[in-house]
């Protein structure tokens, strides 16, 4: 993430990615979801209730992927770690255009 320049669209695109994600993510997010975008991808990080597989499934849900595709992104790598009934996640979405 730090090797690429930040997306020139700045906070505007980060807010659009956040809205697409949180508007359709069926998982129960605990606290703030952070978004950082470079010219080729965005990183979404936060904590969700439930186990790692539930977080992965919610991220891969068609509604989430369609909402991201509508603004020019596709699902990418994901890193999840469960603890105490919650899951810390880092999801990456790739810029398509």
CATH for 74? 3.30.980
Question: Number of folded domains in the chain?
Answer: 1
Residue 53 lies in a domain: yes
CB 59 within 8 Å of CB 75:
yes
CB 68 within 8 Å of CB 93:
yes
Can you give the pLDDT at residue 97? 64
In angstroms, how far is the first alpha carbon of the chain from the final one?
18
Does residue 15 carry a pLDDT above 90? yes
Residue 84 lies in a domain: yes
Among 46, 54, 51, residue whose Cα is nearest residue 29: 46
Residue 42 lies in a domain: yes
Q: For the residues 34-50, what does the mean pLDDT come to?
A: 94
Domain that holds residue 35: 10-95
Residue 1 lies in a domain: no
Q: For the residues 44-70, what does the mean pLDDT come to?
A: 92
pTM for the whole thing? 0.87
Q: How many H-runs (helices) and E-runs (strands) does the chain carry?
A: 3, 4
* pLDDT tens sequence across 62-97: 999 999 999 999 999 999 999 998 999 999 999 986
Residue 62 lies in a domain: yes
């Amino acid at each position: 993430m730090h090797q690429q320049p930040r997306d020139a669209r700045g906070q505007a695109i980060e807010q659009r990615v956040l809205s697409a994600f949180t508007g359709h993510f069926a998982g129960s997010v605990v606290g703030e979801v952070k978004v950082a975008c470079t010219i080729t991808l965005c990183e979404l990080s936060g904590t969700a209730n439930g186990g790692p597989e539930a977080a992965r499934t919610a991220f891969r849900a068609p509604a989430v992927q369609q909402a991201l595709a509508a603004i020019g992104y596709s699902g990418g790598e994901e890193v999840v770690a469960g603890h105490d009934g919650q899951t810390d996640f880092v999801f990456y979405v790739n810029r398509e255009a």
